[in-house]
Every structure is written in structure tokens, then in C-alpha cells.
Structure 1
């Protein structure tokens, strides 16, 4: 059994091909999907990331994830300077471009000390399915939660300091709750977040 509890779609309209560096559009989508689902951020223990391997897009996605799920790590940082990224829409000021490790949050921290949900992207396994990516990754997220086994980041080579999230690396992790979220971003600043419960 699985339920789609909440969803949201936003557009940050920052650039034709690049997301807003501070991740504001995706962060707004995640927050809105959680609100529609009536699920607090701490209930989400797995996030299936868009993570196409593009440095700009991955860093923006990591910023959004950290801002929503580990806000303590963003509290004492200055907002990004220059360009329209300073014009943070719908979010508090002070969102960093890069996300340092957490100093603690309400969320359980991962093995590397970072807060927030365990994160992996399944594109390394099935490839980029373009418009079908959201559906494929939704099904994978549901199945991972149902089986209680969260997938690793296939093809992972090295840590990007601009993407300081709790990555699932060496082996699948056990799912610690029935709640997960899958996110996707596309050209033009389009962002989608789906909150699921499976069991």
C-alpha cells in the first residue's frame, strides 16, 4: 500500500537553464508539499533527489534540502551576493549557496553528522528518463519504503562540499519510517515535490 499525501510545483524563473543558486524554488515546493500532506519535516527520513550530477543544479538542490530539513545549519550564514539570487522569494533571508555540516537539528543526524533525511538519487541506476523521471523516481521511492531498504547513490565518486547532505553511500540503509519525498527540477526553474507514505 502507498499514498501520495502531498505535492507541490513551483517555478523560480531564475535562468532558462540554471536553478536559483540558493534553492529557493525547490525549498518552497518541498515546504508546500509537506504542508499539504500535514507531515512535519522530521517525519521524512528518505529523500529521492533529482541530482543529475550538474554542479550548479546539485548545489542548489542541496541548499534547498538543507534549508528545509536542517535549518540550524543555515542560521548564521550571510545570504548569497549578486544577481537575482539575493531576491529570496517566500523564504527567510540568509540562505547559503553551500551547506556546511549541521550543528544539530531536530532531525536525526546521519553518520557524517549531517541532519535531515537520508538522500540518494536513483538516476545513477536507471538513467535520466526526462519527462518520465518524476514517475520513475516516485515508484522507486514507494518501493524502497515498502521494502524498508533505501538505495545507494550509484556511481558516487567524491564529496562535493557544496552538497553537504546525508548521502547513502556504501550500502543500502534500512528505512526508519514510512514517509519519504521525491523531488525533481527542470529547465526554467520548474520544481516538483511529492510526499509519500508507504508500508
Structure 2
């Protein structure tokens, strides 16, 4: 089954480059393009009426009319089945943090290769985490999670944190720990609450920063 992707970036050259990458991938379909967040939301609203929502939105951060952070929040709120992966550059770490807090599933550097793009998209759809190693190093230096949070985790919650950072889905975590998927989700929810974070990606960054797993 094809993975449908909406590409959102105000720079036409960047947008066309990303589209060209996607079109070269097997089983990936470009669902459309948008030059800013408002245009992306309008596209999604029309697609929803037609029953043709994309699986993933590749979202730039700095755009006119409606920027990527605000647009991400709206996509997550209005179209919860659509994942958002941020397209970022090294100078945007603060904005990436905020976008992750607003519900983005992951992030990619704009100069990422086709294989990385495909890996990140498919990980987002599966509910897994893809961390671009170069961006991860920068983000973990600035992660705003309280360090004391890790000490509050149970041994099982710590295991779940490590498995999340390794990119495992809830199903994989459940199988690895020989527990139900529902119990895995409960452990994940408790773990996120204790460390003061709201997404799997933020949790994975925390695990890298604290040395629980190596940067990938």
C-alpha cells in the first residue's frame, strides 16, 4: 500500500527537490504540495472530504501566513490520523522542540538522502521514532526535560524508555517485554508524564542525552 505524503515548504526549489526524492521511492505517492501552513490545512480539509487524507505531512518550520509550528498543532488537532514530520535545518532547534511538543512525530534535515526520508516517513506512520543523528546531537544539548525525572521511573518504565529510543513501536515493546500492547501503552504514558514530556521523540532524545542509548 502506497504511503501518501503532503509536502509543505515555502521555498519552491526545496519543495520540488523533496517531491523529486519522494517520486523516486517505491510505494510512496506525493499527495500534494503547499507553500505555507494555511495552504496545507486547506489541502487537508479538501482531502478529508474526498476521503483522501495523506499519511504524512512533511512540514517546513519557517513559512509565511502560518508557520510550521502552528500548522503542526492544527494538523494534529484536526486530522489526528495524519502524522507530521518536520523538515529542519541546524539553526532551528528551538522551533523543532516546540513542534515536537505540539505533536510532530519526528524530524529530518532538509539535505537528508532519499533513504533517510523514506525511513523517517515509514517510522512515523508505524508510530515509531526516527532520529536524524546530526540533529539529535544538537537537540539533546537543549532538551528542557528535568533531569530529576529519570529517577522517578520504575525499572519497567526505564526499559520502555530505552525501547522507544531504539525506535520500537508499542507492539514491538509489548512483544519484547512479554506484556500486552495495552500495558505497554500504559507504561509509556506513565513514563512520559514522569519525565515531563509529551511525545515519543522527546523521550528518545532524553534517552540519548542521558546516555541510555547511543545517538543514531
Query: Smaller-chain TM-score range?
Result: under 0.3
- TM-score of the aligned structures, taking structure 1 as reference length: 0.28
Identify which of structures 1 and 2 has the higher relative contact order when contacts are C-alpha pairs closer than 8 Å and 6+ apart. 1
Structure that is richer in helix per residue: 2
TM-score by length of 2: 0.26
Q: Which has the larger radius of gyration?
A: 2
